[in-house]
Amino acid sequence: MNLRRPEPADVLDAHERLGIAIRTPLLRSDELDARVGGKVFFKCENLQRCGAFKFRGAYNCLSRLDRQAYPGGVVAYSTGNHGQAVATVGRMLGIPSTIVMPYDAPSVKIAKARAQGAQVVLYDRRAARREEIAARIADANPVAIIPPGDDPFVIAGQGTVAGEALQALSGANVDVVLVPCGGGGLAAGTCLAVEAFRSKAEVWAAEPLAFDDTKRSLASGQREKNLRLDGSICDALLAPTPAVLPFAINRERLARVLVADDRQVLEAMRFVYEELRVVVEPGGAIGLAALLANPEALRGRSAVVVASGGNVDTGLFMRALQSAGDRVAA
C-alpha cells in the first residue's frame, strides 16, 4: 500500500482528473434551515456514479494503476460502497477486481459489485480480518491492494466532494463542511480540500453512536478501536479503527465530531426523503441526523452537509419511512 501522506495539491490534481464524475447537486430546504437555525446545502453524493462518493477515490486511484506491475488487477476490502466503486471503475478501465466484503453487508451492495464483474469474497467480520484476507489474495496473485482509506489517491479523490461544493458556492459564506466518518478518508480529503480551495470553513465529522472511534481518537491523541464491528444500521461507517493516513490528517485539522443513534438516522432518512425527495442510506444520512440532533451546533451559520451514499436495501428504507414521529425532533 502507498502510505504517502496526501497534500492539498493532490485534491486539485484529482479534481482535474475526475471530469468523469457526476457534479452532484446542492439542495436546499427552508424547513431544514428553520430546524437548525442556519443555512444548509445538502450535497447529494447519493446521486454519484455507483450511488456513493466512493467512485471518486476509486477512479482517482485505479486510473493511475501500473498495469504491468499488477497484471492481475486489484483487490479491495469494503463494507460495500468502496468495493462497489472499485468494481465499477475496474470494469470501466478493464481492470479485474476482487472485493472482500462481510457476508452481512447490504445485499444491494454485494449484488451491485457482482453485477460489475467483480469476484466477491464474503467473510464473517466477527471471526476474520478483511485486511488479512486481502493480503493473502495479494500474496497469491499479482494484484494491488486498494484500501478504503489508507491510500493518498483515494483520500484526494474523496476530497473532490467538498472541493466541488466549495467551487459551486464560490462567493458564498460556508462556515462548516459536515461529512460522514467511518475510517476517516472522506473527512481527511475534505480537510485537504478546504485548504486547497482556500476556504475558511471548519470540517466536522459525524459518526454512529457507539462507533465513535474518530471522536475518541481525537480526544486521546491515538487511534482508538470500536468495541464491536456490528450493531448499527450505518453499515458503511463501521470501521474497526480510524485508518492511519486519514487520522494523521484529521487529528490536526478536524474541528468537531458529532454523533447520532440509529433512531435519529432513520428519522433523518425519512426527513430528507419528505423534504428533498431523495433516497439516502443510513451512513449517508448520519451528518444530517447528527445536525438535527444537535441543532444548536449550527445556529446562525452555514454548512455543506454531505449525503455520502444512497445504496440502501428496500426493507431498511421502508423502516425509515415508517419511523416514529411525523418529523425529526429538533
Query: Would you kindly state where each structural domain of the chain is located, as residue ranges?
Result: 8-52+151-321, 55-145
| Cα(168)–Cα(146) distance, integer angstroms | 30
The arithmetic mean of pLDDT across residues 157-171, rounded, is: 96
User: Do 8-52+151-321 and 55-145 show the same overall fold?
Assistant: yes
Mean pLDDT for the chain?
94
| DSSP sequence for 203-231 | EEEEEETT--HHHHHHHHTS----S-S--
Confidence of residue 3 (pLDDT cuts 50, 70, 90): confident
pLDDT, position 172: 86
| Cα(152)–Cα(244) distance, integer angstroms | 11
**Per-residue DSSP letter, 170:** T
| Cα(227)–Cα(210) distance, integer angstroms | 8
pLDDT, position 1: 66
Q: Name the architecture of domain 8-52+151-321.
A: 3-Layer(aba) Sandwich (3.40)
Give the closest residue to 290 by CA, choosing from 225, 223, 205, 210.
205
Confidence of residue 329 (pLDDT cuts 50, 70, 90): very low
Q: Name the architecture of domain 55-145.
A: 3-Layer(aba) Sandwich (3.40)
The arithmetic mean of pLDDT across residues 297-318, rounded, is: 96
Place of cell 469474497: 121
Confidence of residue 60 (pLDDT cuts 50, 70, 90): very high
HSE-up (13 A, CA, CB side) for residue 36:
25
